[in-house]
């Protein structure tokens, strides 16, 4: 995006914690510590506003979308990318190699209890359509994740992060967790990825 903006443009990259962004440097890049829910943005300033796998974690997601729309110039674009983790669950009775991990089920339950909207990607199109934007469009992408793949490593990272909470919930044993971690390394086991929805709309 920095290259596309060139010398005449700028890119503002924001997060509530910039530890993964501070290494990004460029003459037209600004890294900003910013909370999309509580911190102000410039109004009618940007040609594009974009988020990826952020809003599903924010209970005030509608407020965040409204704030991003306000930050876009007339004629500019809002582009949102979010997961739907519930519409493409493994179909083990039909495809035995698609294994529904108990750890994944418990993880989803825990995330939902914490306010994460696990199907938010699917809601993007109607949300943008009702937000006064034009040229609204949405597309979903699904791939197969095998054991040992990048997708499996993503799940492993999520499992490790929520390990203590899942075990202490009483819904998952340490042995079940360990067995599912082993399955994540088995290339004979596969899962459909969550649907990554990309939705966009143009500000009038």
pLDDT in tens, 4-51: 899 899 999 999 999 999 999 899 999 999 999 999 899 999 999 999
Which residues, at least 6 apart from 101, have a Cβ–Cβ distance to it below 8 Å? Answer: 155, 180, 183, 184, 191
Q: Which of 142, 28, 133 is nearest to 85 (CA)?
A: 142
pLDDT in tens, 69-79: 999 999 999 99
DSSP helix/strand/coil, 138: strand
Q: What is the pLDDT of residue 195?
A: 97
Q: What is the CATH number of domain 35-202?
A: 3.40.50.150
pLDDT band at 126 (very low <50, low <70, confident <90, very high): very high
Terminal Cα-to-Cα distance of the chain (whole angstroms): 23
- Residue-wise over 120-131: b if at least 16 C-beta within 10 A, else e? bbbbbbebbeeb
**Domain ranges in the chain?**
35-202
Identify the H or E element spanning 150.
helix 150-168
Q: Which of 38, 67, 40, 74 is nearest to 51 (CA)?
A: 67
Report the residue count for the chain. Answer: 204
Q: Quick check: 93 pLDDT over 90?
A: no
Q: Quick check: 92 pLDDT over 90?
A: no
Q: Quick check: 107 pLDDT over 90?
A: yes
| % of the chain at pLDDT higher than 70 | 100
Q: Quick check: 89 pLDDT over 90?
A: no
Q: Quick check: 96 pLDDT over 90?
A: no
Whole-angstrom Cα distance, residue 166 to residue 109? 9
């Amino acid at each position: 995006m920095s290259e596309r903006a060139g010398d005449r443009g700028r890119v503002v990259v924001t997060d509530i914690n910039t530890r993964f962004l501070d290494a990004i440097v460029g003459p037209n890049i600004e890294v900003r510590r910013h909370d999309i829910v509580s911190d102000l943005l410039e109004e009618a300033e940007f040609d594009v506003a974009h988020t990826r796998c952020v809003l599903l974690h924010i209970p005030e997601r509608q407020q965040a979308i409204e704030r991003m729309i306000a930050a876009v110039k007339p004629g500019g674009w809002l582009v949102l990318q979010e997961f739907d983790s519930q519409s493409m669950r493994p179909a083990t009775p039909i495809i035995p190699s698609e294994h529904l991990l108990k750890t994944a089920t418990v993880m989803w339950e825990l995330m939902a209890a914490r306010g994460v909207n696990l199907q938010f990607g699917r809601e993007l199109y109607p949300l943008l359509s009702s937000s006064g934007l034009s040229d609204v469009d949405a597309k979903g992408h699904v791939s197969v994740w095998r054991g040992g793949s990048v997708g499996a490593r993503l799940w492993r990272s999520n499992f490790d992060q929520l390990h203590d909470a899942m075990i202490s919930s009483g819904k998952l044993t340490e042995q079940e967790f360990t067995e599912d971690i082993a399955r994540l390394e088995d290339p004979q086991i596969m899962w459909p990825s969550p649907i990554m929805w990309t939705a966009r709309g143009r500000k009038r």
